[in-house]
């Protein structure tokens, strides 16, 4: 989207730009898009004094040369992809972290139970999978808490980790995460860091995952298709194809990481092993 289109969608003339100097950006490494659609015109500010404490936000961690990374999977569970992903991870005996949509947790609890039984970490990715950039602060707070509770109901505890939808970090996201005791996980390695890889370009996607590999990486895959897994309009064909491509690339990506001498661990293990005594800026 060019700047003019963005402004038009945001309902702003050029005179309005200064008033929204901080439209909600996406903070993921390699995805530093300058602006995103701001339908709701909600502020990205964090009100001082509303919440005590703080929240850590991690893209990756400095491991001092230790070859270790965390595989993560977003938007599951789904009947299309999750069992296959669990089979692949089981075959290579590597743990991962699943950022779950609460609505899908409720619909497919057996797959979440299998994640836990197989030794994977489960984490919160909201209940309804709307971007925080287009939801009211009250709705953002509610979907994060409800997502955490959907997991707690199944596995006993609210999860430690939260990943915002599309990497959209707003003031409300930070405040709600702090209040709920979440750490925030973004990512440093993805299928398409330059946003130029075709959805069905398996070789390109595989190469992106392998070339971007680094020590302490948080690698993002998907075993779901966003809200289209439960919307009345049905699965989004483009997303299904994009996810199919990712999962097809997964075995060779894991093999490449193993061949490079990498260990794969849960995101809690990655951070806790290497971040003792320092915060996310360290
Ligand atoms: Zn997502």
Q: Where are the domains of the chain?
A: 57-274
Q: Return d(Cα 71, Cα 113) in angstroms, integer.
A: 19
Catalytic residues: 74, 222
Question: Which residues on neighbouring strands pair with residue 69, listed in sequence order?
Answer: 264
Residue 46's pLDDT is 67
State the distance from the centre of ligand 1 to the C-alpha of 240, rounded, in angstroms: 13
Residue by residue, pLDDT tens for the chain (282 residues) are: 343 333 333 333 333 223 322 333 343 433 333 333 444 555 556 666 666 778 899 999 999 999 999 999 999 999 999 999 999 999 999 999 999 999 999 999 999 999 999 999 999 999 999 999 888 889 999 999 999 999 999 999 999 999 999 999 988 899 999 999 999 999 999 999 888 899 999 999 999 999 999 999 999 999 999 999 999 999 999 999 999 999 999 999 999 999 999 999 999 999 999 986 555 554
Residue 259's pLDDT is 98
**What is each CA distance from 273 to 66, 108, 116, 267, in whole angstroms?**
10, 32, 21, 10
Q: Which residues lie closer than 8 Å to 141 by C-beta, 6 or more apart? A: 172, 175, 176, 179
- Asked if 155 contacts 112 with a C-beta cutoff of 8 angstroms, the reply is yes
- Asked if 143 contacts 173 with a C-beta cutoff of 8 angstroms, the reply is no
Residue with tokens 């390699």: 30
What's the maximum distance between 2 C-alpha atoms anywhere in the chain? 57
- Asked if 132 contacts 162 with a C-beta cutoff of 8 angstroms, the reply is no
State the distance from the centre of ligand 1 to the C-alpha of 74, rounded, in angstroms: 5
Q: What phi and psi values does residue 277 have, to the nearest 5 degrees?
A: 80, 5
State the distance from the centre of ligand 1 to the C-alpha of 101, rounded, in angstroms: 8
**What is each CA distance from 226 to 77, 130, 156, 240, 250, in whole angstroms?**
10, 9, 25, 10, 19
State the distance from the centre of ligand 1 to the C-alpha of 84, rounded, in angstroms: 18
Q: Return d(Cα 94, Cα 254) in angstroms, integer.
A: 9
What is the distance, to the nearest Å, from the Cα of residue 275 to the centroid of all Cα atoms in its chain?
20
State the distance from the centre of ligand 1 to the C-alpha of 164, rounded, in angstroms: 8
Q: Which residues lie closer than 8 Å to 139 by C-beta, 6 or more apart? A: 130
State the distance from the centre of ligand 1 to the C-alpha of 13, rounded, in angstroms: 31
Question: Which residues on neighbouring strands pair with residue 225, listed in sequence order?
Answer: none
Give the global pTM: 0.84
Q: 138: how many CB neighbours lie within 10 A of its CB?
A: 9
State the distance from the centre of ligand 1 to the C-alpha of 64, rounded, in angstroms: 30
Residue 266's pLDDT is 98
State the distance from the centre of ligand 1 to the C-alpha of 207, rounded, in angstroms: 22
Q: Is 265 helix (H, G, I), strand (E, B) or coil?
A: coil
Fold classification of 57-274 is TIM Barrel (3.20.20)
Residue 13's pLDDT is 31
Q: What phi and psi values does residue 121 have, to the nearest 5 degrees?
A: -95, 140
């Amino acid at each position: 989207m060019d700047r003019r289109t963005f402004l038009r969608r945001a309902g702003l003339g050029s005179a309005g730009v200064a008033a929204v100097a901080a439209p909600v950006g996406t903070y993921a490494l390699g995805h530093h898009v300058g602006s995103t659609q701001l339908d709701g015109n909600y502020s990205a500010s964090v009100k001082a004094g509303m919440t005590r404490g703080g929240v850590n936000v991690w893209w990756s961690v400095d491991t001092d040369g230790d070859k270790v990374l965390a595989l993560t999977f977003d938007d599951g569970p789904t009947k299309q992809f999750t069992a296959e992903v669990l089979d692949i991870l089981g075959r290579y005996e590597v743990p991962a972290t699943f950022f779950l949509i609460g609505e899908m947790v409720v619909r497919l609890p057996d797959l979440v139970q299998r994640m836990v039984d197989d030794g994977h970490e489960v984490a919160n990715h909201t209940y309804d999978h709307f971007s925080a950039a287009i939801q009211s602060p009250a709705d953002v707070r509610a979907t994060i808490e409800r997502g955490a509770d959907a997991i707690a109901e199944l596995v006993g505890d609210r999860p430690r980790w939260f990943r915002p939808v599309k990497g959209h970090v707003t003031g409300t996201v930070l405040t709600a995460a702090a209040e709920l005791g979440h750490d925030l996980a973004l990512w440093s390695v993805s299928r398409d860091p330059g946003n130029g890889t075709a959805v069905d370009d398996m070789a390109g996607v595989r190469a992106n995952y392998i070339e971007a590999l680094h020590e302490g990486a948080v690698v993002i895959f998907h075993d779901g298709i966003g809200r289209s897994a439960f919307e009345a309009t049905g699965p989004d064909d483009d997303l299904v194809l994009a996810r199919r491509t990712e999962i097809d690339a997964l075995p060779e990506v894991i093999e490449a990481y193993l061949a490079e001498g990498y260990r794969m661990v849960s995101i809690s293990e990655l951070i806790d092993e290497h971040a003792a005594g320092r915060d996310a800026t360290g």
